[in-house]
Structure 1
Amino acid sequence: MMQQIYPAPAHDFRYELNKDFQFAAAHYVPHEEAGACRNIHGHTYFVNITVAGDQLNDSGFLVNFQLLKSLVHKRFDHTLLNKDRLFSEDLSERFPTTEAVARVIWEVIQKELDRAPNKPKCLQVFVRETPTSYVVFRPRKGDFA
């Protein structure tokens, strides 16, 4: 895993945790302006998840690191992202671009966090697709349940 300094989201929570991991996946962007990216190709995605909150759970965690990894790695590693139901061939907002990958990861994680009694929030998802290209997704306040 490459050493990386991530942009930090501003917040007033007591606790912030970050989890780094990577997964390998293929995708294609189903649009004529995508150029060569219209063809199936793969990446090793490097991901950083930032979660914050004020209360720890019954185990003393804000969120268990393994939960974060399992939500993303088990779902997306060694897959064709276009086949996942959270992506679409018809809606540009749901094409598996790096931007949408970051947002979908946030959606998957926040949906699970909304079930937690201590109500942590996923504040940021950083996705590096190549050594020179990355996306940061940060939800707006209204995106939280």
Structure 2
Amino acid sequence: MIQQFYPQVPHNFRYELNKDMHLAAAHFIPDSKAGQCQHMHGHTYFINITIGGDQLDELGFLINFKRIKEIVHKRYDHSVLNDHPEYKDVYPTTERVAEQIWTAIQKELSTLVHQPKCLQVVVRETPTSYVVYRPKPEDIA
């Protein structure tokens, strides 16, 4: 994977973890206003997840990198995003994909005793186009 640099999210946490991954998935936006994107097509998405926290678990992790990959990669790799229940009532745009990844990661983090927070999710759809999702402070309180 080519080394990527992503926008930094300001925070006051002692630790910051970043996990990069990529996955292949197809989607379509079934609306004529979406132009070519109304037709089924695929991307190799490059994803960066930023997690912050002040405390580590008993092993010394904010969260194990492997667990982050299981939550995201296992769910979406080699799938049609439109088929996932979280996109039943909304189109799987890159913005929505970033938001849903944040939701899944934060749900897992909220179960951990030391309460790390997902600060940012970056989803790169093409070499020249990406979305940054940052929750509002009240979303991760």
- TM-score bracket, shorter-length normalisation: over 0.9
- State the distance in 2 between where 1:98 and 1:139 align: 15
Residue aligning to 1:133: 129
The match for 1:113 among 104, 109, 112 is 109
Q: Confirm or deny that 1:122 pairs with 2:118.
A: yes
How much has 1:125 moved relative to structure 2?
A: 0.2
- Structure-2 residue corresponding to 1:36: 36
RMSD: 0.9
For 1:84, give the aligned amino acid. Answer: H
After TM superposition, which residue ranges in structure 1, 4 or more long, deviate above 2 angstroms?
none
Give 2:139's aligned residue.
Answer: 143
Q: Structure 2 CA distance, aligned partners of 1:120 and 1:30?
A: 37
How many Å separate the matches in 1 of 2:120 and 2:140? 12
Shift of 1:58: 1.1
1:32 Cα shift? Answer: 1.9
Identity, in percent, stands at 59
1:16 is aligned to 2:19: no
Number of equivalent positions? 141
What TM-score, normalized to structure 1?
A: 0.94
Tell whether 2:51 aligns with 1:60. no
2:84 paired residue number: 84
**d(CA) in 2 for partners of 1:59, 1:87:** 36
Which TM-score applies when normalising by structure 2?
0.97
Structure 1 unpaired stretches of 5+: none
By how many angstroms is 1:2 displaced?
Answer: 2.1
